[in-house]
Structure 1
Amino acid sequence: MGLKKSFFFLSVWCILLSLLLVLLVFFICSTIKSGYPPGGIEIGSDGVIIPLEQPTTAQQCVITLLTYFQWLSCIIVPVSGLGVAAVLFYRIKLKKPIKLLQAGTEHIRANDLDFSIPAVSTDELGQICAAFETMRLELLKTNQALWRQAEERKRLNAAFAHDLRNPITVLKGSLKLLRNGTADEQAIDRLESYTLRIEQYVEAMSSIQRIEQMPVRVSEVAARTLRTELEETARLFAPALDIALSVPDMGTLQIDHGIFLNVAENLIGNAARFARTKVEITLAIEKDILFLSVVDDGPGFPAELIKSGPKPFGKVEENSEHFGMGLYSSSLLCQKHGGNLRLENSPAGAITITSEKQSRKKMQKVVK
């Protein structure tokens, strides 16, 4: 029943009860007055005037008060009935939904959306409560979307910073060679290549909102070029370690050169951080699948990391210089290239990471 109908219904019933109560008051007061002497005179049928018993002064006061009470009840009782109708209307129809709306407003004011407004009725206030609950759910969805966007932006910024660190390390090493006067033509080419790569990477990252949106640009790359780059990367990232590199002559490959180098640098840099004495790097192709294997003799990956896979900002050790994004971004880049990343520990404690792709334009990377 709507609010208007509810109020009208309660008002009518309360007024009817008030009228019944007024009649009851008149009846009771008349009954009480009938018990007192009426006073006055009585004229008989023969014309004889008979004086009646006169009420005493106290009895006359009671009769007067009862008469006044009867007439006052005609005003006070119906008005009181309307007041009772208003109170009942508030308690039955208004109190609960108003209380729920006030509580919901306080929650929203405190930036707390972890509550709900239950359905209280189908009247106008019930519809307002339902609309309030719909608004709360929409606000909750909006906040969750904003939170996810903020987290994604955080991941993107961390990946951006992490992936820039590797080519900058190469540039710093090349500049050191130039300062020492030991640079050769390859150092100059490397400076030019990595500067162009950083420029392309910044351009790509500035136009995307998620790491997964990074474009894949497949081009022809000679295997000997990859060998040279892997050798230089290993020398710059692990100068004090024994490096074993195996890259057979595989001709020309169809891959995204930038993605390959990003993943390779992340895996080699990760192995160099935890290796004790040596790092083994192997590049191979099998049935149009390219394998990159990086093996170190370090302590191995934690069991949880192998079980659940790389996570954003996941760190094996607390180090402010590392964001914990290397393996995670490598996994995403491998998937962008149509492959995957697998982490394994050998019985001897070595680590294996695998990524694969299913066609000539796809690659598989294995890091042990």
Structure 2
Amino acid sequence: MDKIKRPKLNLSLRKSLILYIVIFVILALILSISTNYICESTVASIQESYPPSGEKYYLTNEQGERLGEGTYIGNEPVTFSEKDERVITLLKMFPVIATPVYSALCILTAVLLFYKNKLRIPLIELRSASEKISNNDLGFSIEYNSKDELGQLCNSFETMRATLANNFSEMWRQVEDRKQLNAAFAHDLRTPLTVLKGYNEMLQSSRDEQTNEIAVTMGKHLSRMEAYVSSMSTLRRLEDTQPEYETISLQPFLSSLQESAQIICTQNEKTLYLQNETSACEICVDKSFITQVCNNLLSNAVRYALTSITLSFSIQDDGFWLCVSDNGKGFDKNTIYKVTNPYFTEESDCAEHFGLGLYICKLLCERHRGYLKIDSTSKGAKVSAFFKFPTS
């Protein structure tokens, strides 16, 4: 049986479809002929059940004896009963109606069987594979052994999956190596920086004016290096952290975010506008993630805003939206796609800012199964953070 199925399974889609249609068209033709024959036989049987009418003539010999059964000459039309008349009419009409019906049903059956035997299984495999890949699940294989077009597509998909799995493993190994290197780098720099800071404090206490000026400059650079090392350690912790979901009362939480935002804007002499479009009473999120993203976005906005900042909240798409916009110059269209990269900044003097704010926001949003959206509008810049609710 497998030897019979294998050639049929390996037929191309075009040949398979033609084969199915030809087989079922022949079947429709056989059914039509059979139906016509059965109907005609039934009509003849009904007609024979009625005795013929007219005069019956016999052949005779010289002695006047009848020969044979005789023959009716000048038959008059047989009068059928009303019921048999309806039956005969239906039987004569049925083959005319049945032929197109058989054709349609057979072609429909051919298409359904073609889909079931040639399309359904590979399409299910490909859809399942697509869903798993979209969920970053590469630990599977596509098993569909056929040499037709969909079999070749499944083989190509399996090759792509295996390549993605290898690349993902290699990328993960490189990421882990980078994390370990950064951690080792940050750890090893702490001791020499501490020593240099000690010597720098001694130099700053010198009475020689030139030595004192050099020591002050060195101190600024040492502080910058120390802040850089601290940021590397912070990034390592954030890259490894996972959200801790909890059900919270929404409005009190938003009030605390608004109070913090008002303080940041007041300190930087900026006007804060609030837009609260939420109506839910409780949500399930990680408060620390949202709070840190909100503070980072506000701190970033106050540096570029001219006079005002707008903070808005909303709940859409099964998640919580936090948007911060300002009326500053906006993002440069040539570098907007880089602003979420770590250590990227457009400022020439970045002694205090290492370009980590938006990267940290993006990282926390993605850990919360959301994302960060960057927009540059005619009125300034707008950054939207989306935090997806956990599925129950």
Alignment TM class, shorter chain as reference: 0.3 to 0.5
TM-score by length of 1: 0.45
TM-score by length of 2: 0.43
